[in-house]
Amino acid sequence: MLIAQVTDTHVRAGGKLAYRTVDSAAKLEACVAHLNAMSPRPDIVLLTGDLVDFGRPEEYHALRRILAPLAMPVYAIPGNHDERGAMREAFADHAYLPRDGEFLHYVLEDYPVRLIGLDTTVPGEPGGLLCARRLAWLEERLDAAPERPTVLFMHHPPFLTGLANMDWQNCRNGEALGALVKRHRQVIRILCGHVHRAIQINWYGVTASIAPSPSHSCAFDLNADAAHDFVLEPPTCEVHYWREGAGLISHLTFIGAYGGRHPFYDASGKLID
Ligand SMILES: [Fe+2]
């Protein structure tokens, strides 16, 4: 099974640029074409939050229009730039999203690997949280299927990255999730967004990773006083390859042609000199 992860798309409406600089809608259009052109194609796409930039209904309409050509099912969770009410309305036809209750979290049971989407958002705050209610919900779901390999996906990373300009707004009670993961060894991966960079860590015995964005990247700056800046690095998304017995193998893919494909070997099988 191939799971594409697209995160932090920050779509704006009406041709507006994110931060007056980034054409995030056009960047997502290119990402959609990139995913549709893959062979083999991903089976599903996970959108790990910050789908739009200001949580406005018109931005969600723009997002739905851009996603419409995608050939595979899409599953979305919110990030701090999203607004639960507007997102719920825009994705009313997405049956996996809970109709009621406060949080947009859910379990996808129909795939070889069990996928649990978490809602780490706190309205009005850039940082994230898994409150006692959300943790209890998750624990109940994990208790229900201890034998099934499980991937958690969430917007805010529960660990610190060393990037001071983002770490102050991570999921602030990550240790509580870590304790839960330690007790549920079927969790094989935690997929995150939010930081707009490719980052991996072995965390409480499980691989936790952050995918970069097809839109813009947070500046790589490990200084304690790093400014909160972004840079326009090559747009990316990740493809996670699940195989029974092998686990989840993650590939970073760059969106764009970059000069096309070229052979290493000539027609006679010799390395090209
Ligand atoms: Fe973001």
The full set of domain ranges for the chain reads 2-254
Q: Kindly give the distance from the C-alpha atom of residue 9 to the centroid of ligand 1, in angstroms, as a whole number.
A: 7
80 C-alpha to ligand 1 centroid (Å): 8
- Residue 5 has a pLDDT of 98
* Spatial CB neighbours of 238, under 8 Å, sequence gap ≥ 6: 4, 5, 198, 209, 211, 212, 250, 251, 252, 253
For 186-219, letters b (16+ CB in 10 Å) and e give ebbbbbbbbbbbbbebebbebbbbbbbbbbbbbb
- 120 vs 156: CA distance, rounded Å: 6
- How many Å lie between the centroid of ligand 1 and the Cα of residue 49? 7
Q: How far is the CA of 183 from the centre of ligand 1 (A)?
A: 30
The closest alpha carbon to 8, from 65, 84, 86, 63, belongs to 63
142-159 exposure pattern, b = at least 16 Cβ within 10 A, e = fewer: beeeeeebbbbbbbbbbb
Query: Is there a cis peptide before residue 126, judged by omega within 30 degrees of 0?
Result: no
Note whether 29 and 6 are within 8 A (CB). no
Task: State in Å: Cα 24 to ligand 1 middle.
Answer: 11
CA of 267 to the centre of ligand 1 (A): 46
What gap in Å lies between CA 257 and CA 163, rounded to an integer? 30
Return the number of other C-beta atoms located less than 10 Å from residue 137's C-beta: 19
* CA 273 / ligand 1 centre spacing (Å): 44
Instruction: Give the pLDDT confidence score for residue 202 in this predicted structure.
Output: 97
Sheet arrangement for strand 106-108: 106-108, 114-117, 150-153, 187-192, 206-210, 199-203
Ligand 1 centroid to residue 216 C-alpha, Å: 9
β-strand pairing of 150-153 with 187-192: parallel
Number of alpha carbons in the 13 Å side-chain half-sphere of residue 175: 0
pLDDT at 26: 98
What is the per-residue pLDDT for 47?
Answer: 98
Q: From ligand 1's centre to the CA of 266, what distance in Å? A: 44
Q: Report CA(146)–ligand 1 centroid distance (Å).
A: 32
Ligand 1 geometric centre to CA of 202 (Å): 23
Q: How big is the CA angle at 51 (ends 49 and 53), to the nearest 5 degrees?
A: 115
The Å distance, Cα 10 to ligand 1 centre, comes to 7
CATH 3.60.21.10 fits 2-254, yes or no: yes
State the Rg of the chain over Cα. Answer: 19
pTM reported for the whole predicted model: 0.97
pLDDT of residue 58: 98
**Three-class secondary structure of residue 108 per DSSP:** strand
Average pLDDT per 10 consecutive residues for the chain, totaling 273 residues: 98 97 98 98 98 98 98 98 98 96 97 98 97 98 98 98 96 96 98 98 97 98 96 98 94 94 96 96
